[in-house]
Amino acid sequence: MATKKFMYVNRKAPYGTVYALESLEVVLIAAAFEQDVSLAFIDDGVYQIAKGQNTDGIGMKNFSATYNALGDYEINKLYVEKESLEERGLTEDDLMPIMWEDEDDDWAEKPSIRIVSRAEMANVLADQDVHYSF
């Protein structure tokens, strides 16, 4: 089976709607089929990978740790839009340090998050074969 470039576009904050959790579920399915998977975090989607999420006060499952497991499924291209962070008063330091291990480089830990400008994000999106919107 030919490999396609799959892009999962995440534009909503977690917990208020089910989109963020559903996206994660579908991402993990695609990983099982060994496709070339990328994730984009645009607009309120940047809150999905915010550091320090604590759901004790709302009685919902905190699924943010799952993003740290994506590297084990060879999903290591997490594009985050710089302007979306800035509009929300956030910086890269407010995001979880999501890493992956490069087996071709003695399992060196490398960052999965790639901060890109809105213009760069447009090019990343244009470069994909299939888009899933959440």
Binding site for other proteins (CB under 8 A): 11-17, 43-44, 47, 50-58, 60, 62, 64, 87-89, 94
Q: Quick one: 37 or 70, whose CB is closer to other proteins?
A: 70
Q: Is the dihedral of CA 24, 25, 30, 33 positive or negative?
A: positive
Q: How far is the CB of 59 from other proteins (least distance, A)?
A: 8
Q: Quick one: 43 or 120, whose CB is closer to other proteins?
A: 43
Q: How far is the CB of 44 from other proteins (least distance, A)?
A: 5
Q: Quick one: 19 or 100, whose CB is closer to other proteins?
A: 19
Q: How far is the CB of 3 from other proteins (least distance, A)?
A: 33
Residue 8: both structure tokens together: 């999962």
Burial (0-12, 13-18, 19+ Cβ within 10 Å), 37: buried
Q: Quick one: 13 or 116, whose CB is closer to other proteins?
A: 13
Bridge partner residues of 10 (DSSP): 41
Report in angstroms the alpha-carbon separations of 4 from 16, 31, 127: 31, 12, 11
Phi, psi angles (nearest 5°) of residue 124: -60, -45
Q: How far is the CB of 13 from other proteins (least distance, A)?
A: 5
